[in-house]
Amino acid sequence: MNAIGLIFSNIHDYVVPELTRHRAIASIPFGGRYRMIDFELSNMVNSDITKVGVITNYNYQSLMDHIGTGKDWDLARRSGGIKLLPPFISSYDSTKGDALHTARLELIKGALNFIEHSKEEYVVMTDCDRVCTIDYQKIMDRHIESRADITIVTHRKKVTDEGIGKEILIDADMLGRIEDISEHTAADDGYHNVSMNIFVMKRLYLLNIIRDAMAHGYKSFYHDIIGKNTMHSEYYIYNFEGYSATVNSLASFFASNMDLLKPEVRASLFETPYHPVYTKVRSSAPTKYRAGAMVSNSLIADGCVIEGTVENSIIFRGVTIARGAVIKNSIVMQDSIIGKDVALNCVIADKNTVIRDGRKLSGHETLPFFIDKGVII
């Protein structure tokens, strides 16, 4: 495909502060072996986009460790490949606080040199807060056919209170031409076209947007660019009909992981022909199921030692679950240790947590009990 990819790695960190305290949302572990960015990188590579820039903001050491040279996604290339783009910082920027910029247009400034020196005709921009398998070639074909200036990918769904202030709703006519955009508010109800934060446009058009935004001090891509130009520009939507899950809260992260226990969701994400999901390959020993172990309807990564009971749960690599422990409806991340006779229900345990013998912890699917990285209970 004659396009470059731009991925925003930090732009939605604020929606899951529990999980982004030590990492960007792009490197949040997902599904037992993946990171959130794996789905976007795989979508691009499977759509023949082989030049990708990852726009970073802060707290991206974990992301750098995960991506490495990009060889696991076939992006370790002399020409093209993957590049981490640091944040744009001027001598006048304040250095106080962790966050540098949070607005999309400000973050693109850090990619300006990357965009200017690319030769490809089109740009595909996307965030890392969504789990889906999507073919960007189909979107590009629709974009060219409709002669759009910008195409925004949407997913039609019934909106819930969980998305208030975190989602963009888009109204379009019968042909898909955008008529209005708005932030999700408490007044919204029913089914809407919700933006997936995936944009397709010509590279030169994006450069013009960036330069105009810098000249006028614009910060909001949706309100200052899309909203102000819907009347005299050709902005269209592409409605994606496959499985799509947005991580915009701890509860939605929990729910989207639990969705993987459904065969139809796994088929939609991982069994789409010619669209595998790639991730960093780690060579670990197979999981050991010792005497007394009982596992049902769960995803267990390699390198684990299971002696207890695991039901409806996702267990990442290197986890130890001792005898007598009962893990239900929970997510236990890499290298955690679960002691004897522990009982967990609706719990999210981040990496390297230790839960000592006899502890009983429970949350609810709408409010899972979260254990921070490296915590000992």
What pLDDT does residue 91 have? 42
Closest-CA residue to 282 (of 268, 295, 301, 297): 301
Residue 208: the pLDDT is 93
Report pLDDT for 89: 57
Nearest Cα neighbor of 172 from 149, 154, 146 is 154
SS (H, E, C) the chain: CCEEEEEECCCCHHHCCCCCCCCCHHHCEECCCEEHHHHHHHHHHHCCCCEEEEECCCCCHHHHHHHCCCHHHCCCCCCCEEEEECCCCCCCCCCCCCCCCCCHHHHHHCCHHHHHCCCCCEEEEECCCEEECCCHHHHHHHHHHHCCCEEEEEEEEECCHHHCCCCEEEEECCCCEEEEEEECCCCCCCEEEEEEEEEEEEHHHHHHHHHHHHHHCCCCHHHHHHHHHCCCCCEEEEECCCCEEECCCHHHHHHHHHHCCCHHHHHHHHCCCCCCCCCCCCCCCCCEECCCCEEECCEECCCCEECCEEECCEECCCCEECCCCEEECCEECCCCEECCCCEEECEEECCCCEECCCCEEECECCECEEECCCCEC
Q: Which residues, given as ranges, of the chain have pLDDT below 70? A: 88-102
Cβ count near 144 (within 10 Å): 14
pLDDT given for residue 273 in this prediction: 85
Predicted TM-score (pTM) of the model is: 0.92
Q: What is the pLDDT of residue 88?
A: 63
pLDDT at residue 13 in the model: 85
Query: pLDDT at position 98, please?
Result: 42
Give whole-number Cα distances, 366 to 80, 128, 162, 190, in Å: 43, 22, 10, 20
pLDDT digits (tens, 9 = 90+) for 20-78: 998 999 999 999 999 999 999 999 999 999 999 999 887 888 999 999 999 999 999 88
